[in-house]
Structure 1
Amino acid sequence: MPLGPLRSSPLVEQATLRLRDQIASGHWPVGTKLPAETALAGELGVGRSTVREALRALAGAGLVQSRQGAGVFVIATEPERDWPTRLRQAAVADVYEVRMLVEVEAARLAAQRRTEADLATLRAALTDRRLAADRDDQAFVDADIALHAGVVAAAHNPVLTDLFAEFAPALRRGLTDLVEILELRAHDPCPGDASHAALVHAVERGDADAAATAAREELLGTLEQLRRL
């Protein structure tokens, strides 16, 4: 299938898409050496610089690889999915299992490392969660996630903090669906208040084991509900 000249619009984007389509269709199988830049530029009707940028984009997506002195070779037919994309496409229960692994240890560390500023944040977050009980489901879920984010932040490990931030959008969608589908707030507008209070109080006391247990029990209950959806 000939490439054909490109029409007006961002040429690099068009060139990237056209070349990616050729790779995905099997026109250039894995292991194939791509035509030279000059040949590709001639077929697409663009300059070599446009082709060069398109090839860089394909390399960044994990589809091609430049080998010094040999050329550019196809190494995959599907682009690599970055971490945020994987999280968006993952089942919420799978994300939640990993969240448990992260947050249980984060709660333990928070109890050991929390500062007075952290405790003030956690107390305020617990209050905000209770106040959000009078608002809509989305506001309540946001307040719930904010409290958990406060616990993770109190662990003072930037990798844990960043990891939780990556999880947050997927968690927000999943928890909102859970609350709405199961009507969890129909009889109790602030479900899980006791367990969240236990988590905060354990961190306040500096009781690492109790904080980890409180986090595990709270998250496990939600995970079991997610698995039933």
Structure 2
Amino acid sequence: MEVAPGVDEIYRRLLDRVLTGFYPVGSRLPSCRALATELGSNSSTVDRAIGRLASGGRVRTVPRRGTFVLPPDSATVDPRDVVSAELDEMLLRARRLGFSAADLTSMVEVALHRVDSMRRIAVVECNERDLRHVQDLVQRASGVEVQPVLLADARGRLLDEEFDAVAVPIFHLNDIDGLVRDLDQVIELNLVASPSALRRLIDVRDRERIVVVAPSRRGVQWMTAIVGQYYPGVIEGIEFDPDAPPDLDGDPRLDDAAVVVVNNAVPLPAGLEERVGQVIAIEWELDGRFSTALRSRVESVISSRGEA
């Protein structure tokens, strides 16, 4: 009979995800129920493990909003202490199984070599929801473990020095200018709108006008081009800067709009859907033709780096 992981194990797994950036600073953790399902535990155990993370200054829970990862300088837990405790536990178990010090030293050296030779791939996106989704898409298509990086968290970094390759959606290529030195280490992700979103666009072909909302002028152009392939009427764009959002509640362009098309980078005001009638959120998928070639593309980029 399998035993469900306890609080200590769930805590270590969640802490490891925080320390490695699997949950980036500022990101919201999945719900206790979702984590319990994923980790094979129960909501109560996960809740207690998250409480331990909060006590250590790694996360902060905001009522009715969720649990968010705090910056490292807000934390009181030393990552070395965590790793050291896990290493002690593993070595103690190995010695009880009869492994000698020489055996363990050799095994650690082999493991370190294996870890150091692992491919390190970053996936970059501008918002948390798309980041997790694209991370999963790339990981499943390429067979390579990837690390999520929010654009806002990448400022001042050189991602191609931290990672062997950097995967980014085509419409964010300009956004990583200055974040990489060698564009040959960048893998352009060809994303397309999900079939469910396209079906919803086809269903509103009889409407006279659609409003597209995106966080930049380039984003508006990109979204307009996508919508225009399936909708023959008038398409009006609104640029919505999350850092300086316009007053959409009073925007006359929305008054007669029965349909508003957005992506996950746009945090729309509460109640907007009731006001306009229908909001279609564009979810992204990897282009099927590109998806089949992604694994070889990753290998090619990493190989070229090794030859340089």
Taking structure 1 as the reference length, the TM-score comes to 0.31
Give the number of the structure whose residues are more often helix, by fraction: 1
Give the greater-gyration-radius structure (CA): 1
Give the number of the structure whose residues are more often strand, by fraction: 2
Taking structure 2 as the reference length, the TM-score comes to 0.23
Higher relative contact order (CA 8 A, sep 6+): 1
